Structure 1
Amino acid sequence: MDIDGIRALLADDRPTVGTWLQFPSPDVAELMARAGYDWVAADLEHGSFGPGDLPDIFRAVECGGAAPFARLPEASKTWIKAALEAGAQGLIFPMIESRAQLDRAIDLATYPGQDGWRAAGETAPEYRGVGYCRANVFGKAFDAYREGRAPKLFLVAQIEHIRAVDELDAILAHPRLDAIMVGPYDLSGSMGLTGQFGHPDFLAAMERIKAACARAHARMGLHIVQPDPAALAREIAAGCRFIAYGIDTVFLWRGSERPAGA
């Protein structure tokens, strides 16, 4: 699956399902990509990745037939540039709480001249740095990358704080945003309800998010941390279209624990 395939799924109102990596292992990355997911995201926030790990991780994901994504540790110039230059085809921006934060993150992921979402005559204060890198074959394919793949980067805002829910209409109005992803643990934590996903206040916040996405015709997503096919089916039926399913570490724990009594 590549970005064009992912966009085709969404254009048909079908879900795109990926998974999460925390191990900086190209072998694990390739295995997860070959497991049938559309995209595989390196978790740079909670995983053990450094910038130097990313080229091999992304090569392995592509070898396995999935699109390489990165969940950034922060939506900063340094990390956005590192992930994109290593070859990420999608970025998941963490802790987006306002339209201003999202504007800056998307500016930093966009080459000069590719900010067509802005008003006529309005200039972005910051741009993606221009240079030779793995993503453009160290300059050999710079024009093809800049004009072909770069404008198709898949951009996702994580909604992880109740403040973001209050600002969600403005966030969803960004025309370059491809999807949002709810971070349930951080969202519940911001409400003083860490992990209490059945609490009425948390459920009410989730309904607000779903309603805002429906108003904006935006693609809602979330992370199903504990693999559960029934939960995946329920979320797809409920309208979620950008879903991360499981984590390499969780799959390993669940498959490797010694059976009780053995």
Structure 2
Amino acid sequence: MTVHDIRALLACDRPTVGTWLQLPSTDVAELMARAGYDWVAVDMEHGSFGRAGLPDIFRAIECGGAAPFARLPEAAKSWIKSALEAGAQGLIFPMIESRAQLDQAIDWAIYPGQDHWRAAGETAAEYRGVGYCRANVFGKNFETYRQERAPELFLVAQIEHIRAVDNLDAILAHPRLDAIMVGPYDLSGSMGLTAQFEHPDFRAVMDRIQAACKRRNARMGLHIVQPDPAELARQVAAGSRFIAYGIDSVFLWQGAERPDREKAL
């Protein structure tokens, strides 16, 4: 699966389903990619990943047939550069709360001359730094990467605070944004309702987000943290199109926990 394939799914209004990686193991990364997901997102915010290990993790994901994505620790220039140069094909920007913040993050992810949405003569204050790196095979495929692969980067804004919901129309209007992803735990926490996903106020905010996505013809997404096929089907039916399903550590817990543990205790 490539970013091009993922966009083809979305163009047909079909969902793209990936998964989440927290364990810094190339074997686990390849296993999760081979489990049938379109993309695997390396959780650089809450997982145990260092910059030096990213190239091997991304290689393992590609080897498994999925597109390597990165959820950054923050939407900062250094983290964006590190993930892209290691070979990420998609970026998930955490805690996006305003259009200005998203504008800056996307500018840092785009090479000069690839911001086709700007008016003639308009330029960004900063762009992605240009140089040899693992993503362009250390210069061997520099032009191919710059002209073909870099423009296809998949860019996602995480909506994780009630302030972001208040600014959502402006965020969704960015021409280069591919999708949003609701972070349910942080969003509910910002409302003083941590993990109370059935609370009427939280449900009302989710309805606001869905309505904004419909108005803007934007791709709604979210993370189904606890794997549940019925919930996945429900979210797809409700219109979600960019879905992270489970986490490697959660899958491990669910499969590994001793069945007769209570008796043993």
In 1, Cα distance between equivalents of 2:100 and 2:50: 27
1:75-224 equivalences under 5 Å are 75-224=75-224
For the residue of structure 2 that corresponds to 1:215, the secondary structure is: helix
CA displacement, residues 130-171 of structure 1 (integer Å, 9 cap, x when unaligned): 110000010111100000000000000000000000000000
CA displacement, residues 50-105 of structure 1 (integer Å, 9 cap, x when unaligned): 11110000000000000000000001110000000000000000000000000000
1:28 aligns with 28
TM-score by length of 2: 0.98
In 1, Cα distance between equivalents of 2:119 and 2:91: 24
- Per the TM alignment, residue 117 of structure 1 is displaced from its structure 2 partner at its CA by 1.5
Q: Which amino acid aligns with 1:41?
A: A
Instruction: Name stretches of at least 5 consecutive residues in structure 2 with no aligned partner.
Output: none
1:54 aligns with 54
- Per the TM alignment, residue 118 of structure 1 is displaced from its structure 2 partner at its CA by 1.7
For the residue of structure 1 that corresponds to 2:146, the secondary structure is: helix
For the residue of structure 2 that corresponds to 1:29, the secondary structure is: helix
Instruction: Name stretches of at least 5 consecutive residues in structure 1 with no aligned partner.
Output: none
- Per the TM alignment, residue 210 of structure 1 is displaced from its structure 2 partner at its CA by 0.3
For the residue of structure 2 that corresponds to 1:31, the secondary structure is: helix
In 2, Cα distance between equivalents of 1:137 and 1:249: 31
How many residue pairs are counted as aligned between the two chains? Answer: 262
- Per the TM alignment, residue 120 of structure 1 is displaced from its structure 2 partner at its CA by 2.0
1:45 aligns with 45
Q: Which amino acid aligns with 2:198?
A: G
In 1, Cα distance between equivalents of 2:75 and 2:122: 22
For the residue of structure 1 that corresponds to 2:123, the secondary structure is: coil
In 2, Cα distance between equivalents of 1:230 and 1:206: 19
TM-score by length of 1: 0.99
In 1, Cα distance between equivalents of 2:96 and 2:117: 19
Greater displacement, 112-121 / 188-197 = 112-121
In 1, Cα distance between equivalents of 2:250 and 2:131: 37
**Aligned pair 1:72/2:33, yes or no?**
no
- Per the TM alignment, residue 109 of structure 1 is displaced from its structure 2 partner at its CA by 0.2
> Superposition RMSD on alpha carbons, in Å?
0.6
Could you tell me the percent identity over the aligned residues? 82
2:241 aligns with 241
CA displacement, residues 103-142 of structure 1 (integer Å, 9 cap, x when unaligned): 0000000001111112222110110011100000101111
**Runs of 4 or more above 4 Å deviation:** none
In 2, Cα distance between equivalents of 1:64 and 1:194: 35
In 2, Cα distance between equivalents of 1:119 and 1:165: 27
In 1, Cα distance between equivalents of 2:99 and 2:120: 19
In 1, Cα distance between equivalents of 2:117 and 2:19: 29
In 2, Cα distance between equivalents of 1:69 and 1:7: 14
